[in-house]
Each structure stands twice: as C-alpha cells, then as structure tokens.
Structure 1
Amino acid sequence: MTTEALYAEFFGLRERPFNLLPDPALIYWSPQHTRAITVLRFGLMSRAPVTLISGEIGAGKTTLVQALLKEMDADLTVGLISNAQGGRGELLRWILNAFGIEAGKDEDYVRLFQRFQDFLLKEYAEGRRVVLVIDEAQNLSSEGLEEVRMLTNINSNKDELIQLILVGQPELRDIVRAPNMRQLAQRVAASFHLERLDLDRTRDYIRYRLQSVGGTGDEISPGAVDLIFEHTGGVPRLVNQLADFAMIYAWSGEQHVVTPKEVQSVLDDGVFFGDITTGAGA
C-alpha cells in the first residue's frame, strides 16, 4: 500500500484532499471564483474577442480554465497553450500545435499563417467557433501578445473567427494596460482578477476539500487552520502544500486531528518553502 493510500485511509478519506494538481472536481467555488467562471462563460457566450483572467500564483486560475474546458459545447474547437515562449513565428507554431495543425519545420511565417487562416475559415463554415486559451500569458513578450491580438482581425462576414482567453499572473494586466498594448486592451471585453482567500474563506476552503473526499471537515482543527492561513496568506496552492504536509505529520504521529503543533512542526523543519512570513512565498 502506498504512503498516499495509508495517509488517506488513516483519516477515513478516499484520497488526499490537498493534491497540488489542478482538479476541477475539487474546486472550491468561493464567491470570487464563481464570479470568475461567470466572466469566462460570458466572454464565450458574448463572443468577446479577448477575455482576460488574472490572479496570484496558485490562486486557482488554471483550475478554473480546466473547469471551463470540461463544460464547453461541442460546437467549440478549443486550443490550449501553457508557458509559450519565442519570437515572431514561434508563437504561431505553438498555436498550430494546440489545434493539431501540421507545421513543417522549414515553412515560413506567411505559409503557416495562411494554413491557420484556412483552418479558421473551415471551422466557421462547419458551424464551429474557435477558442484559443493561453495560460501563463504574462510570459509572452509584447510582440507575442500583439501577434496574438492580430489573430482577432481575421473575420468572415463581420464575424470574428477566433476568441482568445488570456490567463496569467497580476503583471499580465499591467502589460496589457501599457501604452503600446492599447489595441489589445481595447479588445478585452471581459476580465476578472482573482484575489487571495481571506481567513473565513480559507476555513471554508479547507473544510470543503476535506468533505469532498469523504471527511467530516474537522480533520484539521480551527487553530491549525488559522496557523495555515497566517503562513500562506490564503493562496490556495500554498494552503494545499502546508495542509498536506501537516496531515502527513499527523499521520506519522498517529494523530487523527491536525493541530497547530503539527503545522508548526512542518514550518520548523523547513520542508514548506512557501511561507509568506519569511518572504519565500508567492
């Protein structure tokens, strides 16, 4: 039996409640996450040229995108890019790859662009809308973002053939608001910024995750939750990391409830690298 299975079984859980991988099945719908998914849905339904979702590292942006992808209609053709980099032409290759379009190594930019335009026209003729999701979009250069924006100029009978969803860290908003990005900013028809969770929402978040995998929600004591919040600032990814370690420590000590003692032991041992009180967190 694996360590993970023992840990979950010890607490009477089906699985680890604080897995670090984005999991739409375990998403905690705080009021702001509900508003964010509503903005994403609105952007799609209103055919917004560009929808922008920003937030702190670990705030749940990628999980939101995964949840959106799971509910998209069959008449949408979706491409997803994460951590794209490169200069002019390289980004276009990333985009073609996201939609499964062949791009020869020696083909020039004009030919690749024409191939992508033909793909958009074909999808449009067959009644499908094309959506391109770019995660970690703050990593794109200004030239890369401008290249992406120009894709929204491709149209047919005044209908835009592609919608963009840009997802990134807070600096993405600053990049888009820069004077040289004015044309892109004008195409952003829907946007939302995810903040960190406050203490009450962090309490709800931890209880929700525990209950979602068969727990009572009381496996982590209120005092332990307060200490977790103090050292994570309510960033969901950091909360997951510290709570996960604390449950492992409680399991190793045969304690069925995580107390501040276990959380403090994790912090003292230096195995949690996201502690915001030391300047090492997000």
Structure 2
Amino acid sequence: MASSDGFYLDYFGLDRRPFTLLPDPGFMYWSPLHKRGYSVLQFGIMSCAPITVLTGEIGAGKTTLIQHLLSEMEQSITVGLISNAQGGRGELLQWVLHALGLPIEADASYVQIFRALQDFLVAEYAEGRRVVLIFDEAQNLTVEGLEEIRMLTNINSNTDELIQLVLVGQPELRDMVLDPKMRQLTQRVAASFHLERMDESSVKAYIRHRMKTAGGSGDEFTEEACKQIFTQTRGVPRLVNQFCDFALLYAWTNEAEKVDEEVVEQVVKDGVFFGGNSLEKELTV
C-alpha cells in the first residue's frame, strides 16, 4: 500500500484536502446559480434593500456565499452576523446588540435595549455608515421573531436606510416569509433568491475546480465517476464533498490512478456515505 503520510494527499500530489466540510471561500466554485445568488446579495446591499432573503437546501453553499460577502463588504458598512438566533420578544434584540458589540445591562428592559440599538443606528448614520444585520439559519426564528425583525426596519427614515436585514436559511424560511400572515414582512423584501442543487455538469466542474485548487490536475475523477457521484448526492455541494472525500480515500487504499466507476461503487457498497440515506428519505416523503 502507498505511504500513509498525508493519507491520499501525497498520493495525488495535493497540498490540502479538497473536500472538507467547513465553508472555505478559497474553494468557492462559482456555478451559474451561485453567481446569481451572490449577485442578488450584492444588489440587496448596494440598493439599500430593507430586507434581502437567501434560501437553499442544507449544504447548498449559503454560508460560503455569506462569508464571501463579508470579505468584500465596504468599510463604510457595519455588519452584525447572528447565527441560530432564537427566543421570544426582547431576546432577539439581545442577540443583535451582542452581534454589534454593544454592551447590555443585565436588568435592561425591552425599551432600554431597543433604545440602545436605535441610538447606535442613528450614531452610525451620522458618521456616514450603514448597518447590515445578517441572520444565518433564520428558518429557526419563530413567527414572533420574524415580526420583531420586521419592526427593526421601522427605525429607517423616509429617505435613508439606517439598517438592512439579510435573512439566510433553509427552504422553510421562504415558506414562512410568503405566509399571508407575514404580509407586512414580505412587503419589505426587496431582493430574494433560492439556491437550487447543482446539475450534473456543474457537479463535474465543481469536483474538477476543487481538485485543481488543492494542487491537483483536475482529472483525478473520471467522467463516469462524476456522473455516479451526482446520482448519489443529487447535486448538493456538502454531500458531494462527503462522497468525494471517501472516494479519494478508497482510490488511495486501492492504489488506483483515478477515482473511477469501480471506486465509486465500492464507496456505495460499503455504506460509508450516510448522506444518501437522508436523500432517500426525502424522496420517499
């Protein structure tokens, strides 16, 4: 067997793992869908949209797009990132103040917390700055939480936006926003996009891109292997990463020159790829 130093990295001449599950803007693959999704995010920020919504399946690349957006945000914009915010009235505002680095009195009332946020927004506006709040995993917010978020946009003046909201989440978020009971929130959404799964050709290009970015040639996966990987993952980027990581490991242990149809079939047969189980359940619901 080949040397275990670096597992399959040395074997394929790679300088890093090409298919880690952690969001990494350095590996960003700009599929047509991701380009459009990112353009909508940029449009929402640049056009001072009160609320921008980005939705997509688990592992579709939403967080990676947000991280890329943060890395390119103008210096004149103050950003607060809130992940998995939950809670009832008042608690959400505490998440917001914490994300903006503002102190919170232990016994502060709702009115005091709201006033602290309002004073901060006005002060930032006076300095020529805008504030953008990004809520990641926003599908976990309650209807009450979404309504409280909408109320934040009331702070804006008639002509200028003091605060902009970006809601990022799974498809359930889109359903929540479009609910007739959330009509007032929907009316504030000026930009929105839903990230679909990648198609077969995008999966092939995605795999090639990540292999080349990691120091490979991009030809380590055969055409048929890519086709089967698309079938197994349904084009979900995170699942493609999981499967390809196992495929490279299996190719290394088999001393195969490439990840071919036989390697992919072995990964499937051994049942080490759990992502396919969730897809099967989804398709049978």
TM-score scaled by structure 1?
0.95
**What is the aligned partner in structure 2 of residue 184 from structure 1?**
185
Q: Distance in 2 between matches of 1:161 and 1:179?
A: 27
Task: Between 113-122 and 155-164, report the one with greater CA deviation.
Answer: 155-164
Q: Distance in 2 between matches of 1:6 and 1:229?
A: 25
State the secondary structure of the residue aligned to 1:275. helix
State the secondary structure of the residue aligned to 2:168. strand
**What is the aligned partner in structure 1 of residue 202 from structure 2?**
201
Measured after TM superposition, the shift of residue 278 of structure 1 is 6.2
* Partners of 1:233 and 1:276 within 8 A in 2: no
**CA, structure 1 residues 265+78, in 2 after alignment: closer, same or farther (shift >3 Å)?**
same
Letter in 2 for 1:111: Q
Pairs within 5 Å for 1:258-269 = 258-269=259-270
Q: Distance in 2 between matches of 1:129 and 1:222?
A: 48
**What is the aligned partner in structure 1 of residue 257 from structure 2?**
256
State the secondary structure of the residue aligned to 2:6. helix
**What is the aligned partner in structure 2 of residue 270 from structure 1?**
271
Measured after TM superposition, the shift of residue 164 of structure 1 is 0.5
Q: Distance in 1 between matches of 2:4 and 2:72?
A: 34
**CA, structure 1 residues 267+38, in 2 after alignment: closer, same or farther (shift >3 Å)?**
same
Q: Distance in 2 between matches of 1:104 and 1:11?
A: 55
**RMSD of equivalent CA atoms:** 1.8
Q: Distance in 1 between matches of 2:88 and 2:270?
A: 43
Letter in 1 for 2:273: F
Pairs within 5 Å for 1:190-229 = 190-229=191-230
**What is the aligned partner in structure 1 of residue 137 from structure 2?**
136
**What is the aligned partner in structure 2 of residue 33 from structure 1?**
34
State the secondary structure of the residue aligned to 2:133. strand
- Number of equivalences: 281
Q: Distance in 2 between matches of 1:71 and 1:95?
A: 21
**What is the aligned partner in structure 2 of residue 82 from structure 1?**
83
* Partners of 1:79 and 1:99 within 8 A in 2: yes
Q: Distance in 1 between matches of 2:90 and 2:120?
A: 17
Measured after TM superposition, the shift of residue 281 of structure 1 is 6.7
* Partners of 1:249 and 1:266 within 8 A in 2: yes
State the secondary structure of the residue aligned to 1:216. coil
TM-score scaled by structure 2?
0.94
- Identity, % of aligned pairs? 60
1:56-95 superposed Cα distances (whole Å, 9 cap, x missing partner): 1111111001111000010000010111111111111111
* Partners of 1:231 and 1:277 within 8 A in 2: no
Q: Distance in 1 between matches of 2:44 and 2:237?
A: 25
State the secondary structure of the residue aligned to 2:98. helix
Letter in 2 for 1:236: P
* Partners of 1:137 and 1:168 within 8 A in 2: yes
Q: Which runs of 5+ in 1 are unaligned?
A: none
